[in-house]
Amino acid sequence: MRLFSVRGGVHLDYRKDRTRNLGIVPLPMPALLYLPLTQHVGAAAEPVVVAGQVVRKGEVLATAQGAVSAPVHAPTSGRIKEITGHVSPHPSGLSQSTIVLESDGADAWGALPAGIEDPFAATGQEIARRVAEAGVVGLGGAAFPAAVKLNLRAGHTVDTLLINGAECEPYLTCDDRVMREYAGEVVDGARIMAHALGAARIVIAVEKNKPEAIKAIANAARPFATMAVAEVPVRYPMGSAHHLVKVITGRETPAHGRTASVGVLVHNVGTARAIHHAVRFGRPLISRVVTVSGGALKSGHNIEVPLGTLVRELIDFCGGMVAHADQVISGGPMMGHPLPSLEAPVVKGTCGILALTADETNVQPTGPCIRCGSCVEACPSGLVPLQLATLIQHEDIDGAAKLGVEDCISCGSCSYICPSHIPLMHYFDYANGRLRVLDRKRKHQEKLKTLAEARRQRLERQAAARAAAKAKSARPAAPPTASAQAQTQTQAQAQSKPVGNSAAAASVTGAPVTGLPVTTATETGAGP
Amino acid sequence: MMLAIGSLTALGVSLGAVLGAASRYLAVEVDPLESDLLDLLPGSQCGQCGFVGCGQAAAALAKGEAPVTLCGPGGKAVAEKLARRLGIHADLSKHQDQEPQVAIINEDLCIGCLRCFQECTTDAIVGAPKQLHTVITEHCHGCGKCTKTCPTGAVTMCPVPTTLNTWHWHKPVPKKGRHRATIGRRAVG
């Protein structure tokens, strides 16, 4: 297969040997599972269970809310202990709403929807609905609801489905193991997705450093003419969706755009397997393969982990820490994030747990920029990291935005290559965070402006109505003139239909707006 | 020689007369600068700048009687825009955006007097006479006027809590080298 070239990238020491030849092992069911309501991109799921309720394995615990969301299912049978705040697997360490499930040890399945016997006779919508019900999200780390991507057929013409098995991050071998051990399931999941999308071609892209996975996938894909396996060069960040699309098809995804706009949809191999389970057997996403590795651990493993397992239990399963861990990271060492606590649970997007020693993280004191340009050569998005970082250091966030800081994919190639150890990517993460804050602030102020304007108009109308009422009461004997009638109408309108925020404006007329019982109905605006 | 002087003088006088007449008869009644500045201001009439509302603040800015940093809620972004429109250079490197705040009503102390309600310029407070009032947090712009008018001290301002959706990475502190787990060259490369 002809491959295209991409710019930038770095060559890393992959350190995958520790776990790449170890088979996937199941984790003994933990006594307690902590299932956050937001394990995906989009709106938080809404719990449909209460504390004390007994649930079966695979039962829905929380339903999806809105267009971009995903439900949460019970990974085992047991009793809901509580729904409470628990530390989230997020660098902030903020607490979030979490369902705590107490396992009963039986691990008994509840009633599942029957699988679709012949998915290739089903419509795209039917398959997408199944995938949505099963709570499948992107298992590569981004955790974007998979069904939303399958529904993109409506707006885009997708000709190629790209299955991402590049796994370019060091340490991680979970996708490698899934491809080796469940190649048939991955291939079937990919074919189901391609059918749902109407994509004529399926390409499974694997980095050359996984020869066994390439062989397994090629064997499984051989009967299907529409499928091809692409061996992509070993270079970080090959697994970035935009870059993989460029390598395989030569098409460049526009800035702020999706790969679907160039006719390609990218899914991770783990997602393909989860979709196979969801569509063929009606099984929801309740577990995932996680690579647990790093120099601070006694041993590394690829573990099939029930969602909601605490990171601490995974570390205990691997024999605990034998050295001081400088950082415990969720995801890969390049794009992952440090975990605030070992009490954080494994969620749908957790692809790895790495306990790295200080020697491995190798955090060095920052030196001055020597303008060597290594970061410019390494940047896969074609940015100029050294210039961006200088602007951000001086808080010129707008200037950085003009130079395209929003196109940064946070791959960390620049920080890795920098001989002065300048935390370049961290500057860009900060700048992009600030840009989001400013954007929210701008939207908020626009809303406030309309509210303030609505209030001004309402006060004017009330003043006019009062003046009219005064004029009317001053000459009670006189018959109502045409103009006085018109004014009375205005007053009635002002009282019945106040503009602006309906809840706030309704309170002017003394109506109950917050569910409170209101006994007096004085018009507050009409007081002396 | 005299012809040149005469013609230039005549030209100057006649053009001067045209300009004089134009300034009198074609005068713009509203200062366009003032309305431009008003568009740049947030427009929520919070009064934190010390003026009654954004209109008065814009008038003062146009006359040069107020600094471009007067608008607290607008922060640095608005100050920069105002400075650009006024064509002046303002050093904003030290300017800190104020931390966003929202009003919270202590339910035990609220007597339902409606005073805070009447003060709020964005209708962010809802309530009825002698009933508990409450704040619609998304509509509150944190001006704090309600705290001053409350007779029982039931309204207090508090910082907007950070959530998973609003959190972002702090600015890196270079000396400590506290950046994300990037693997250095010594160990990996």
What is the tens place of the pLDDT at every residue in A6-50? 888 999 999 999 999 999 999 999 999 999 999 999 999 999 999
Range of the domain at A252: 17-109+117-301
Share of chain A above pLDDT 90, in %: 74
Cβ atoms of residues A386 and A323 within 8 Å? no
Among A438, A470, A502, residue at a domain's last position: A470
- Containing A404, the helix (H) or strand (E) segment is none
B145 and chain A in contact, CB less than 8 A: no
What contacts 24+ positions apart, CB below 8 Å, involve B10-17? Answer: none
Q: Are A210 and A223 in contact (CB under 8 A)?
A: no
**pLDDT given for residue A524 in this prediction:** 40
- Residue A399 scores a pLDDT above 90: yes
ipTM of the complex: 0.77
Cα–Cα distance for residue pair B28/A276, rounded to 1 Å: 71
In a domain, A342, yes or no: no
pLDDT at B176: 55
* pLDDT score of A156: 84
> How many residues in total does chain A contain?
528
Whether the CB of B42 is below 8 Å from some CB of chain A: the reply is yes
Task: Identify the residue whose tokens are 């526009």.
Answer: A254
Alpha helices in A288-423 (DSSP H): 311-317, 358-361, 374-378, 385-393, 397-402, 413-417
Domain count of chain A?
2
pLDDT digits (tens, 9 = 90+) for A137-159: 999 888 999 999 888 877 788 99
The structure tokens 């404006």 sit at A505
Tokens linked to A235? 């270079």
Contact A333 B182 (CB under 8 A): yes
Q: Are strands A264-268 and A227-232 parallel, antiparallel or unpaired?
A: unpaired
Query: Rounded to whole angstroms, how far apart are CA atoms A184 and A179?
Result: 8
Q: State pLDDT tens for residues A291-338.
A: 999 999 999 999 999 999 999 999 999 999 999 999 999 999 999 999
Q: Report the CATH architecture of B101-159.
A: 2-Layer Sandwich (3.30)
User: Does residue A91 belong to the interface with chain B, where contact is any CB pair within 8 Å?
Assistant: yes
Most confident of the following: A377-381, A482-486, B95-99, B100-104: A377-381
CA–CA distance, A357 with B40 (Å, rounded to integer): 52
Cis check: omega of the bond before A237, within 30 degrees of 0: yes
| Chain A contact for B175 (CB, 8 A cutoff) | yes
Rounded CA-CA distance A158/A251 in Å is 13
pLDDT of B56 strictly over 60: yes
Shared domain check, A151 and A75: yes
Say whether both A66 and A149 belong to one domain. Answer: yes
d(CA A387, CA A364) in angstroms, rounded, equals 21
Distance of CA A406 to the CA centre of its chain: 17
Domain boundaries, chain B: 32-86, 101-159
Could you tell me how far CA B187 lies from the centroid of its own chain? 50
Average pLDDT of the residues in B60-73 = 86
- Beta-bridged to residue A490, according to DSSP, are none
A81 phi/psi in degrees, rounded to 5: -75, -50
All residues at 6 or more sequence positions from A326 whose CB lies less than 8 Å from its CB, including other chains: A296, A356, A357, A358, A360, A361, A363
The closest alpha carbon to A64, from A95, A35, A43, A86, belongs to: A43
For residue B119, the model assigns a pLDDT of 87
CATH of the domain at A151: 3.40.50.11540
Residue A495 has pLDDT above 80, yes or no: no
> What does the pLDDT look like over A431-448, one tens digit per residue?
999 999 989 988 988 898
Residue A377, φ and ψ in degrees, nearest 5 = -70, -35
Task: Name the nearest CA neighbour of A37 among B167, B165, B169, B160.
Answer: B165
Q: B8 to chain A, minimum CA–CA distance in Å?
A: 50
Nearest to B122 among A430, A451, A517 (CB): A451
Taking the C-alpha atoms of residue A430 and residue B159, their distance in angstroms, rounded to an integer, is 21
Within an 8 Å CB–CB cutoff, is residue A360 touching chain B? yes
| Closest alpha carbon to A261 in A157, A415, A342, A410 | A157
Average pLDDT over residues B95-110: 86
Share of chain B above pLDDT 90, in %: 30
Q: Are residues A24 and A129 in the same domain?
A: yes
- DSSP 3-state of B15: helix
Q: Which of A68, A67, A27, A61 is nearest to A47 (CA)?
A: A61
Flag whether pLDDT at A220 surpasses 70: yes
Please check whether the domain covering B32-86 is classified as CATH 1.10.15.40: yes
pLDDT value at residue B86: 87
Chain A residues with beta carbon closer than 8 angstroms to that of B187: 13, 359-362
Q: Match 């570390």 to its residue by tokens.
A: A315
Nearest chain B alpha carbon to A431: B171
Yes or no: say if A273 and A181 are a contact pair by the CB < 8 Å rule.
Answer: no
Say if residue A465's pLDDT is above 60. Answer: yes
- The answer to whether position A220 is within a domain reads yes
Distance from CA of B121 to the nearest CA of A (A): 6
d(C-alpha B21, C-alpha B27), whole Å: 10
Instruction: Say whether residue A388 is in contact with chain B using an 8 A CB cutoff.
Output: no
Query: Shortest CA distance to B120 belongs to which of A454, A491, A499, A510?
Result: A454
In a domain, A330, yes or no: no
- In Å, how far is A429's CA from the nearest CA of chain B? 6
**Interface check B63 vs A, CB under 8 A:** no
Which chain A residue's Cα is nearest to B127?
Answer: A507
* Whether A456 and B45 lie within 8 Å, measured CB to CB: yes
Q: Which residues pair with A207 in a beta bridge?
A: A232
Same domain, A65 and A199: yes
Q: Is the pLDDT of residue A76 over 60?
A: yes
Please name the residue of chain B whose CA is at the shortest distance from the CA of residue A332. Answer: B181
- Which residues are paired to B99 by β-bridges? none
- Tell me if chain B has a CB within 8 Å of the CB of A336: yes
Shared domain for A136 and A231, answered yes or no, is: yes
> Does A37 map to a domain?
yes
Q: What is the mean pLDDT of residues A464-470?
A: 93
Task: Yes or no: say if A286 and A168 are a contact pair by the CB < 8 Å rule.
Answer: no
Contact list, A170 vs chain B (CB under 8 Å): 183, 188
Structural domain contains residue A201: yes
Q: Give the per-residue pLDDT at A211.
A: 95
Q: How far is B125 from chain A (nearest CA, A)?
A: 7
Residues 6+ apart with CB under 8 A from B16: none
C-beta separation of A448 from B122 below 8 A: yes
- Please check the confidence at residue A522 and state whether its pLDDT lies above 60: no
Q: Which of A364-368, B69-73, B185-189 has the highest mean pLDDT?
A: A364-368
Q: Which of residues A437, A470, A503 is at a domain's end?
A: A470
Q: Is the pLDDT of residue A482 over 70?
A: no
CB-CB: which of A38, A334, A423 is closest to B172?
A: A423
Question: A156 in contact with B at a CB cutoff of 8 Å?
Answer: no
Residue A475's pLDDT band, with cuts at 50, 70 and 90, is: low
Contact B126 A513 (CB under 8 A): yes
Residues in CB range of B21: below 8 A, 6 or more apart = none
Contact with chain B for residue A389, Cβ under 8 A: no
State how far the Cα of B160 lies from the Cα of B142, in Å rounded to an integer.
9
pLDDT at A498 over 60: no
Which candidate from B42, B139, B163 shows the least CB-CB separation from A501? B139
Determine the pLDDT at residue B91. 77
pLDDT tens per residue across span A406-429 = 999 999 999 999 999 999 999 999
pLDDT at A488: 46
pLDDT given for residue B50 in this prediction: 85
Tell me, what's the pLDDT at A528? 33
Strand locations in A254-369 (E): 264-268, 287-293, 301-306, 327-330, 337-338, 352-356
Distance, C-alpha B141 to centroid of its chain: 11
Does A412 touch chain B if contact means CB atoms closer than 8 Å?
Answer: yes
Neighbours of A375 (CB within 10 A): 27
Write out chain B residues lying below 8 Å of A523, CB-based. none
Give the residue, A32 or B138, on which the prediction is more confident: A32
Domain harbouring A448, CATH code: 1.10.1060
B148/chain A closest Cα distance in angstroms: 20
Half-sphere exposure of B10 (CA within 13 A, CB side): 6
A to B CB pairs, distance under 8 Å? 196
- Position B178 scores a pLDDT of 46
Most B CBs within 10 A among A397, A444, A458, A462, hence the mutation to make, goes to A444
Q: Is residue A208 part of a domain?
A: yes
Weakest-pLDDT range from A29-38, A192-201, A429-438, B20-29: B20-29
Residue in the block written with tokens 């713009």 = B28
Decide if A510 and B129 are in contact by the 8 Å CB cutoff. yes
* Model pLDDT, residue A486: 47
pLDDT over threshold 90, residue B66: no
Mean pLDDT of A96-112: 93
Nearest to A501 among B74, B118, B123 (CB): B123
Question: Are A317 and A290 a contacting pair, CB within 8 Å?
Answer: no
